Structures are given as C-alpha cells and as structure tokens.
Structure 1
Amino acid sequence: MKFLPSAGQRTPLSALALAAVLLAAPAVPAQAQLAAGSNAPVDITADELEVINARCLAIWRGSAEALQDNSRLRADVLTIRYAAARPARTGAEASCGELQGLDAQGSVYYVTPAQRVRANAAVYDAASDTITMTGGVVAAQGQNVLRGERLVIQVSTGQARMETSARGAGTPGRVRGVFYPNQTQGQPAAKR
C-alpha cells in the first residue's frame, strides 16, 4: 500500500499549500498544484476571507475548500502564512514574500482519486518541507486504512511516520492499520 508518492514526486497536500500563494502575494510566481500534473486553476471558496497584510496572513473561514481538477482540501478554517519581505511602515502596506506555511483547522479532509486523509488539524511548514496532521488521523486508500494521533510527512522524500501516545500490547489507541492483500490502485481485493 502506498499512501505517499515515491521520492522525487510532489505530495499533493503540500502542493495545495503552495496554491495559497495565488491569493495574498501576487508578486510570487504561481506554483499551485493540488492535482498531480494538472495545470487547471485552483478554486478556493469559503464563507469569508480576511487578508491581514501587516501580518502577511490570508484566512479563509467557514467550510473552506480548495479544488483543482479532482483533488480537494476542506477545513473549517485555512490560514495561509507568508514571510514578511518588507516590514509595514506607518501608512504603507507590508510586502509579503514567499509562502511559510498553511494551517488547516477543524474537520480537515484531503481527497484525491487514490486516497483520503482525515484529521482535526494539518500544518504545512515550507521551511522543513513537512506536513503534520493531528487529531484522529485516518488515512485510506481503497479499503486499506491507517489510524493514529499524528501523521508527519517529509514531502521531499515521501517518508511518513504515524504516531500515537498509547504504548504496550493490548493498549487501546495504538497506531493501527488494516490492509487487504492483492489490492491495486484503490480496487478491492480479488475474490478467490
């Protein structure tokens, strides 16, 4: 079972974080890509949008959703953080630079045709190139399911680690995976 791309491929969730560059920092080149290999536009909707230029933040609130082709990220709130390229002066607008990260809070869902991941929160950190999903994390591909408290993904290598604080055989809440053999690309296992 493969929840993450092999080394050298982009993880779509991190690509979504880059999609946010389109909103609050128009001087930064658009590198958005939610759906692997797609040049389709990224469509972000929410009940409201607040841009705080002095803090280089764009906050999408209320059933926030970003779509590109057949990939989707949903959360109650999506907060996009940019580096301050030039501090705001009195009466002047701040200049915001590169993407620092993206925070997704509340009912976080990331869905592609091949996989689904659910968590309470997710943080993409551009400097460390990691995605950390926390709180009741459930990752599914086809019928295969992996559960834990915290999923940390190193985007550049495709390596991931599922963690939980529960320890010891028979202790409820430990990392758990249910895998169906003979399954390819999200198809149910063949009956014999």
Structure 2
Amino acid sequence: MADQGDAPVEVTADNLAVNQSDGTAIFTGHVVIAQGAMRLAAPKVLVIYAEASERIERLEASGGVTLVSGEDAAEARNARYDIDAQVIVMEGDVLLAQGPSVMSSERMTVDLEKGTAQMGGRVRTILKQGK
C-alpha cells in the first residue's frame, strides 16, 4: 500500500450530515473514499476536520470496511485513517490478502509512507508457495 501523499480525497455516499460546531461530517450509505490508487468502502464514515482549517485530519470508518490499494486488499470491522501521518489502523477480524498470501488478525497498522504493515492479536498466516 503506497504513499498517497497530498493526493485529493474524493468521497461518494448516499447521505451526508455536517456538524459545523464540532467540525465533523458523517457520510452514510455505500460510502467510497478514494485517494490516489487507494479505495476505502464502508457503510459509515466520520470525517474529522483539522481545527481552524478545511483540511481533513482523519477518517473513521465503521460497519465493515474494505480497503484496496493496487493488488492488496484488507477487510475489518472498523478503520481509522490519519491523513497527515499517513497511517491506517484497522481493527476487528482483520483479513489481508496480498497476492496468493492471506493473513488474519485483530488489528493491523499500515504506514502508507513507509509501505509497511504490522499485525497483532493472534495472527494467522497462509503462505502459498509457487511450483
């Protein structure tokens, strides 16, 4: 999962509710978030804006999340994406597919800038070997 840097964030959803007082927006219904080559889909996404700015600080997706970047795909119950830090934390029945390999755990932290991922909470891995 590669660094997305300052690529714009595009959000599509069935509904949007904005709360000016706390600087949040809630997208619901078939939410798809795209940034560069990365796609995140979930039933509900809370967007939190940085204080005194129109810049998105983080996204909190819930209700069953799918994250796709290139040929890598991950699923979890919930995910938090800190845009400035370029870190995604997925929690709850995490399943990661990278090519023929599949891994599962309770939590996965992805550093998009460094291109690394760390899994924790009873990790199970199936490594398929080519002939």
Give the TM bin, normalised by the shorter chain.
0.7 to 0.9
Per the normalisation by structure 1, the TM-score is 0.59
User: How well do the aligned residues superpose, as a CA RMSD in angstroms?
Assistant: 2.4
CA distance in 2, matches of 1:72, 1:157: 18
State the match for 2:114 in structure 1.
157
CA distance in 1, matches of 2:115, 2:12: 29
Deviation at 1:114, TM superposition (A): 0.5
Larger radius of gyration: 1
State the match for 1:32 in structure 2.
8
CA distance in 2, matches of 1:179, 1:73: 25
Which secondary structure state, in structure 1, belongs to the residue aligned with residue 96 of structure 2? strand
Matches within 5 A, 1:38-77: 42=10, 44-67=11-34, 71-77=38-44
Per the normalisation by structure 2, the TM-score is 0.83
CA distance in 1, matches of 2:114, 2:36: 25
Q: Is 1:178 the equivalent of 2:126? A: yes
Structure 1 unmatched runs, 5+: 19-30, 34-41, 86-95, 165-173, 182-188
Structure 2 unmatched runs, 5+: none
- Pair 1:70–1:160, CA change in 2 (3 A): closer
State the match for 2:71 in structure 1.
114
Deviations 1:123-160 (A, max 9, x none): 01245442110000000022210110000122332232
CA distance in 2, matches of 1:47, 1:114: 27
CA distance in 1, matches of 2:39, 2:109: 20
Deviations 1:48-89 (A, max 9, x none): 11111221112111221235787532101011111121xxxx
